[in-house]
Amino acid sequence: MKVGVVGCGFFAQNHLHAWTDLVPRGIEIAAVCDVDPAKAKAAAEKFGVPHWYSDAEAMFRERSLGLVDIVTRVGTHQRLVELAVSHKVPAIVQKPFGPDIAACREMTQASKQAGLFLAVHENFRFQAPMRRIRALLQAGTIGTPSWARISFRTAYDIYKGQPYLALEERFVLIDLGVHVLDMARALLGEVEHLSAETQRRNPNVRGEDTATVMMRHTSGAVSIVECTYEARRLPDVFPETLIEIEGSKGAIVLKPGSILEVAVNGKLNREDVDPPVLPWAERPWHIVQESVLAACSHMLEALQSGGAADTSAHDNVRTFAVAEAAYEAAKSGRAVKVATI
Q: How many CB atoms sit inside 10 A of residue 313's CB?
A: 28
Distance CA 216, CA 147 (A): 9
116 sits near ligand 89Y (criterion: CB under 6 A): no
Q: 3-class SS at 321?
A: helix
| Residue 158: contacted member of ligand NAD, ligand 89Y, none (CB under 5 to 8 Å, by partner type) | ligand 89Y
Task: Name the residue nearer to ligand 89Y (CB basis): 175 or 324.
Answer: 175
Q: Kindly give the pairing relationship between strand 210-217 and strand 222-228.
A: antiparallel
Judged by CB under 6 A, the residue of 158, 242, 264, 278 near ligand 89Y is 158
Distance CA 317, CA 183 (A): 14
Q: 3-class SS at 337?
A: strand
Q: 277: burial class by Cβ within 10 Å (0-12, 13-18, 19+)?
A: middle
Omega within 30 of 0 (cis) for the link into 50: no
Q: Which stretch binds ligand 89Y (CB under 6 A): 38-46, 175-183, 256-264, 326-334?
A: 175-183
- Closest approach, Cβ 151 to ligand 89Y, in A, equals 13
98 sits near ligand 89Y (criterion: CB under 6 A): no
Q: Which residue is at the shortest CB distance from ligand NAD?
A: 9
62 sits near ligand NAD (criterion: CB under 6 A): no
Sketch the per residue contact string, 141 through 180, with ligand NAD: x for CB under 6 A, - otherwise. Answer: ---------------------x------------x-----
Q: Kindly give the pairing relationship between strand 336-337 and strand 267-272.
A: unpaired
Judged by CB under 6 A, the residue of 69, 122, 168, 175 near ligand 89Y is 175
Which amino acid is it at 125?
A: R
| Cα→Cα distances 65→28, 52, 58, 61, 247, Å | 10, 13, 12, 9, 46
Task: Name the residue nearer to ligand NAD (CB basis): 77 or 216.
Answer: 77
Q: Which stretch binds ligand 89Y (CB under 6 A): 51-59, 62-70, 174-182, 322-330?
A: 174-182
Sketch the per residue contact string, 225 through 264, with ligand 89Y: x for CB under 6 A, - otherwise. Answer: --------------x-------------------------
H helices present in the chain, as ranges? 12-21, 37-47, 56-62, 77-86, 101-113, 128-138, 158-161, 172, 178-188, 286-305, 313-332
Task: Name the residue nearer to ligand 89Y (CB basis): 53 or 124.
Answer: 124
73 sits near ligand NAD (criterion: CB under 6 A): yes
| Cα→Cα distances 120→69, 200, 294, 312, Å | 10, 28, 13, 6
Q: How many CB atoms sit inside 10 A of residue 308's CB?
A: 16
34 sits near ligand NAD (criterion: CB under 6 A): yes
Omega within 30 of 0 (cis) for the link into 163: no
Sketch the per residue contact string, 76 through 115, with ligand NAD: x for CB under 6 A, - otherwise. Answer: x-----------------xx--------------------
Distance CA 184, CA 190 (A): 9
Judged by CB under 6 A, the residue of 5, 12, 103, 321 near ligand NAD is 12
215 sits near ligand 89Y (criterion: CB under 6 A): no
Which residues of the shown chain bind ligand NAD in the complex (CB under 6 A)? Answer: 6-12, 33-36, 39, 56, 71-74, 76, 94-95, 121, 123, 162, 175, 288
Task: Name the site residues for ligand 89Y (rule: CB under 6 A).
Answer: 158, 162, 175-176, 179, 239, 288
